[in-house]
Structure 1
């Protein structure tokens, strides 16, 4: 039997919404994500495209990218 458990949603305040919102990860390139997230530490791009916070030559599927995404999400 499938069990579904509730979870606490992550929702920005109204004031932070424009800083947090981001394009879906699969419609922008890493370089576009770097540009859009520049100067926006609250941007969700730091989670869905966390390679933007690592050296430019980092493979976007490398384990450290997923670790960085987790770290960024947890703040």
Structure 2
């Protein structure tokens, strides 16, 4: 299966994705107290879940293929740090 280039990938995910709800996913909120280790949020998108867990004191690494997601995540992280 061919791998799409970054522009193709960015175009496919342009706009608001239905799973980006502007807050942590409810299923993760429900199990947050059961998580005791570092967290890898692969495909973190705009970072709502990663930031939620970071606020709870977890060491979180968020990664996403999209450049635009990275920019939004950095903006959110800067807001969180301040």
The interval holding the TM-score normalised by the smaller chain is under 0.3
TM-score, length-normalised on structure 1?
0.26
* Bigger share in strand: 2
Higher relative contact order (CA 8 A, sep 6+): 2
